[in-house]
Structure 1
Amino acid sequence: MLDRSELDHAIDLQQRSYCLLKWMASAVRDGFIEFKTAHNYSTLPEAALGWIDGHYLNIPADARVERELLPAFTSFFSTYLENSFDLVAEPGKQLYSPDAHCFCPMCSWLIDAPNLKTKRVGPRDKRRADKLRSDALAQLAIERSTPKTDSEIATYLSDHDCRRDAALIAYGHDLLERVNGIANGPAILSLWRGFAWSPSGSPIPKFKLTSDCILDAEQRLIDALLNRG
């Protein structure tokens, strides 16, 4: 069962991470961010932590957390940088001379920030998303002492409403993993579109993810598991 307080925390980190992502991309594009300090970091979460801590007071309030929460925040933020975006293959990449540019993972990403686009979700990613749905539903069935076979799980997921709810709880589990810097790549974009997009393939206007969305979906699936036997 998913925990409300943990979900609240993860969703807050998600929203602030996305705000930071947008702010940083625009700041690089507008020349607000400079690359003059060398950072001795080898991993992206570590580099992000050092960079954000060093620029803390310049970052908008809705795009940062209290300093004591920075390790979890930067771990979550790094999952956006590693798995949600691709560089646009077009000329115009920003160039910096070696003596003006730090080549730590964070600054290397920042150079390309204005040229980012959402990753393409391919067939493999969709299959991975299906596996995450199945695993989430199967785990929920076990927790409720109603274990199901793979065939039974597939039958549940053939129902549109169950499939949407399974996407929500799978996404909830992924949010908690991202707090620890674990990312599942574009499959998560596929899950997102399974509940935040309409069946016609467009974003649902004004959709906002909340803990209630996920926990209500979990309860509906529990009811379905118990009522169908």
Structure 2
Amino acid sequence: MTFIEGEMTRVVELQAKSYALLRWVGDGPGQSTLDFGVSHDTLTLTEAAAEWTRRNAHNLPKETRAEDTDQPAFAALFASYLTTSYTLLETPNLQYRSRTGCYCTFCARLRSASLLKVRQPDKKAQGRAREMKQLYVSGLATETGAPLAYAALAGILDDPGLAMPLSYATYGRELLRRSQFASQGEGILVLWREISWEKGKLRKGFTLSADAMLQSEAAIIEAITTTRQGKRI
């Protein structure tokens, strides 16, 4: 399905809230007020995140909370940050067991949020990011008319002028999937860096934009259309 403006705006806002929550917990000012007392042993990671964020909502800053109707998507995004975007530093002082409280994967990582570091994508992740782009463009072509032949699809993927729109639109698609409990692995980290990083670090002033996602998808649709018409060189 092509992007819907309201849906993209919503998921970008939830992404910002989930990241803000991770930063807030990691910085430690409110750790003592957070409740880890409910066991999540029988829950999935996303289910544990949903239960925890709902139960602790009254202790969280406003900018890190989602509306009740957005809780499932918010929890999925938050859980994905803990597992996909970050890795836990190894430390001999880190303990995963306690006589009280929950130490499921979600709670253990959240308790140790200050020890999380940005995951570094490898060559395999680079290949996965290209696969994501290919699947996105292929699906978009089918949805907007008819499938593209492999050579035509490769021509779009390898067009330098479409590099940023491809990365941005594919990231938007994967962000939607991320909010719907679909895990896509480290390929999304590559997409994120392609749209937001410059010279090895986050580009100054960068803000994820739903409008940019919509414009990027429009550029890809135009490329698909001109390819069908034989107008692309």
What TM-score comes out, normalization by structure 1 length? 0.88
Identity of aligned residues (%): 29
Residue type of the alignment partner of 2:168: L
Amino acid at match of 1:150: Y
Aligned equivalents of 1:34 and 1:210: distance in 2? 31
Which residue of 2 is the match for residue 143 of structure 1?
Answer: 143
Residues 169-184 of structure 1 correspond to what in structure 2 (within 5 A)?
A: 169-184=169-184
1:44–1:106: 8 Å Cα contact kept in structure 2?
yes
Q: Deviations over 1:150-207 (max 9, x none)?
A: 2222222222231221111111111111122212121101011122223x44422111
Distance verdict in 2 for CA 1:25–1:33, change over 3 Å: farther
Determine the structure 2 residue equivalent to 1:67. 68
5 Å-filtered alignment, 1:41-120, equals 41-42=41-42, 43-93=44-94, 95=95, 98-120=98-120
Within-5 A mapping of 1:12-51? 12-27=13-28, 31-33=31-33, 37-42=37-42, 43-51=44-52
Residue aligning to 2:208: 209
Name stretches of at least 5 consecutive residues in structure 2 with no aligned partner.
none
Give TM-score scaled by structure 2 length.
Answer: 0.87
Alpha-carbon distance between aligned partners in 2 of 1:222 and 1:90, rounded to the nearest angstrom: 48
Structure 1 range deviating more: 137-146 or 206-215: 137-146
Partner residue in 2 for 1:157: 157
**Partners in 2 of 1:202 and 1:35 — Cα distance?**
34
> How far is the alpha carbon of 1:80 from its aligned partner?
1.2
Give unpaired runs (5+ residues) of structure 1. none
- Return 101-110 or 111-120, whichever deviates more: 101-110
CA distance change for structure 1 residues 130 and 107 in 2, over 3 Å: closer, same or farther?
Answer: same
C-alpha RMSD of the superposition: 2.2
Count of equivalent residues: 226
Spell out, residue by residue over 1:41-68, the C-alpha distance to the aligned partner (whole angstroms, 9 max, x if none). Answer: 4322222222222211110101011233
Matched, 1:4 2:5: yes
Q: What is the SS of the residue equivalent to 1:86?
A: strand
1 CA distance for matches of 2:158 and 2:152? 10
